[in-house]
Amino acid sequence: MKHLSIIFCLLLAFGCQNKEEKAAAVAKSENEILIGAVFAMTGPIASYGQESVNGIKMALDEVNKTPINGKTIKLLVEDNKGEPVESANAVRKLIDINKVDLVLGSVASSNTLASSPIAQAAKVPLLTPASTNEKVTMTGDYIFRTCFTDNFQGVVMAKFAFNTLNKRKAAIIVDNSSDYSKGLQKVFKEEFGTLGGAVIQDNFTYTQKDTDFRSLLTKVKRANPDVIFLPGYYSEVGLILKQARQMGMDMPILGGDGWDSPKLQELAGPQGIKGNYISSHFSPDDADPKVQKFVKDYMERFNEKPGAMAALGFDAMLVVADAIKRAGSNNAADIQKALATTVAFEGVTGSITIDANRNAQKSAVVLETTATGNVFNQKVSP
């Protein structure tokens, strides 16, 4: 009996100690503001997450040089593996267990759409640097983005196809597993049609993680478009570009920001990448001194040119820090109000004003993809 009670006491003590340790690991200290970041650090869109976090960390180092009301910002990164369910779980964990003051993320619209209702219900502000699908910020008043939306981006590319490239017959290849891709398809189709172009009505679709696109491309080739719109993510897009060129399809292929990854060139190969165009958020060739300083600092730190995601992550972190400073506290409702009243914040991806729907009205750039990197073609204002 005596032994049993000793064991019982030990168990109790051990249990308590364990509990304390866990709590200690997650509790934020008095002089910290805790920000959760939910990004794909592994999986088929890992390049987005890695670049975003690089940009966020660069901004954070700058921000933490001058503490906000005596507090520094601490970042807690969760890997969503590029999956909606993982994204929702990560946001829930960050809010319920870590008690974060705000969530940054995700990149892919489907992931943000799956996780934002949790932040909204808990009334914890969530800001996505990069999710462009229209529906993302409709989740509620705690959900923000610092990028433009697909209603704008899709129109930019339809006009580019029709007016700049003089194309009249488009095929659209859609990633059926992505809200982003399906949304852009709709916008491009409407605008290209309004301009007087024809869109081939066929189901040219694939799913994320597919690798052989030859039968799909055979159908597309047979329909004989003079331009292809391919709103997808770099892993599949890279292979589609490569296989299309191998099959003798040499019309320009257009995409959106989802192509903007240093990995794309590698996957598409020199033949696949050239002669195509995308819309994006940022060009490292921009002569703006602010942009050039960012490009230089980024290259020194990470040994590669920053893409759109790095720039978007950088700006998002700065906008959040600015809002927390103006809020004067890390009370969620105060941060929400301050974010909603962000006006003309000058970032490396342009001037950021949060509108009544918590979106940012910003310019897009059209870039030509080449074997040596993306080349600036034009800037389009909303």
Q: Which stretch binds ligand PHE (CB under 6 A): 67-75, 88-96, 166-174, 255-263?
A: 255-263
**133 in contact with ligand PHE (CB under 6 A):** yes
Q: Which helix (H) or strand (E) holds 227?
A: strand 227-229
- Least distance to ligand PHE from the beta carbon of 105, Å? 11
> Could you tell me the smallest distance in angstroms from the CB atom of residue 124 to ligand PHE?
21
Nearest to 124 by CA among 149, 84, 86, 94: 94
DSSP per-residue letters across 141-162: TTEEESS--HHHHHHHHHHIII
Distance CA 287, CA 223 (A): 41
**Bond into 110 cis (ω within 30):** no
Helix axes 289-302, 308-327, angle to 10 degrees: 110
Among 131, 146, 208, 279, binds ligand PHE (CB under 6 A): 131
CB of 267 to ligand PHE, least distance (A): 14
Select the residue interacting with ligand PHE from 39, 152, 162, 180 (CB under 6 A): 180
Dihedrals phi, psi of 221, to nearest 5 degrees: -60, -40
Select 145 or 167, whichever has its Cβ closest to ligand PHE: 145
> CA 264 to CA 280: how far, in whole Å?
14
Site string for ligand PHE, 260-279 (x = CB under 6 A): x-------------------
**Which of the ranges 5-13, 116-124, 127-135, 356-364 carries the binding residues for ligand PHE, by CB under 6 A?**
127-135
166 CB neighbour count, 10 Å cutoff: 9
Kindly tell me the sign of the dihedral angle through the C-alpha atoms of 322, 328, 329, 332. Answer: negative
User: Which candidate, 360, 311, 377, 298, places its Cα nearest to that of 127?
Assistant: 360
Rounded to a whole number of angstroms, the minimum distance from the CB of residue 157 to ligand PHE is 13
The answer to whether 227 contacts ligand PHE (rule: CB under 6 A) is: no
Using Cβ positions, the residue closest to ligand PHE within the complex turns out to be 180
Site for ligand PHE in 303-332 (CB under 6 A): 308-309
Name the residue nearer to ligand PHE (CB basis): 99 or 379: 379
Span near ligand PHE by CB under 6 A; candidates 86-94, 104-112, 287-295, 336-344: 104-112
State which of residues 59, 107, 119, 273 lies at the interface with ligand PHE (CB under 6 A): 107
Strand order of the sheet with strand 72-79? 72-79, 32-39, 102-105, 126-128, 143-145
Using CB under 6 A as the binding criterion, the count of chain residues that bind ligand PHE stands at 14
Nearer to ligand PHE, 231 or 272 (CB): 231
* 157: contact with ligand PHE by CB under 6 A: no
Q: Answer for the pair 314, 58: CB distance below 8 angstroms, yes or no.
A: yes
Q: How many CB atoms lie within 10 A of CB 266?
A: 11
Q: Which of residues 81-100 bind ligand PHE (CB under 6 A)?
A: none
Which candidate, 27, 28, 48, places its Cα nearest to that of 111? Answer: 48
Nearest-angstrom CA–CA distance, 205 and 175: 6
Q: Which residues bind ligand PHE (CB under 6 A)?
A: 48, 107-109, 130-133, 180, 257-258, 260, 308-309
